[in-house]
Amino acid sequence: MSVHTLHPDRVDEARMHAYSTFAPLLIHSLTQKLARSQGMKELDKIETSLVRLIEETVVAAPDGEAMKEFAVELVVSTLRNVREHPDAKHDLEEIEERRAAGRSENPETLEEQLQSGLEDSFPASDPPAVVSTAITGGSKEIVGTDEVLRRKKEARRRPEKAG
């Protein structure tokens, strides 16, 4: 049934039903696209703006305040779902917020600070010393495979030399 075939008394009812059905889908789709392209900070701005718009709108209906609460609920839940979506673009950390006060931007100064820090960490940055745990005394001679083969070969030659 199209708009042209609707009974005139049902046009407004159908319009309101369409708005209530499609508005959440549209808001969700638009905010997902925004999240993918702009990131979380823009979503935060949009959420603040939409909530303010809802709160400042004068609704001339007996249940206007309840409608506003439902609208805010719709915005907040939709944006929460968009933020949790794996395709949402998460903002990069602002490096300026991490910088220590007084940190130099000069590469030579940074290199000097790095070298100084490494020197200050000495000897902790040195590799551990190799320590032998051998016990003194009559230990058994340990012979490798090459040595065993060499001795067998030598033993085979001895009878040949003797004969």
Residue 151 makes CB contacts below 8 A (sequence gap 6+) with 143
Any idea which residue has 């033993």 for tokens?
Answer: 155
Q: 42-75, pLDDT tens digit by residue?
A: 888 888 999 999 999 998 888 989 999 998 998 8
Specify the pLDDT at position 56.
93
pTM above 0.85, yes or no: no
| Concatenated DSSP letters of the chain | --GGGS-GGGHHHHHHHHHHHHHHHHHHHHHHHHHHHH-HHHHHHHHHHHHHHHHH----STTHHHHHHHHHHHHHHHHHHHHHSTTSPPPPPPHHHHPPTT----HHHHHHHHHHHHHHTTTTTSPPPP---PPPSSPPPP--HHHHHHHHHHHHHHHHHH-
pLDDT score of 40 more than 90: no
pLDDT score of 163 more than 90: no
83-89 average pLDDT score:
74
Q: 88-133, pLDDT tens digit by residue?
A: 666 555 555 556 666 667 777 777 777 777 776 666 555 666 666 6
14-39 average pLDDT score:
85
Share above pLDDT 90 across residues of the chain, in percent, rounded to a whole number: 9
Distance CA 67, CA 71 (A): 6
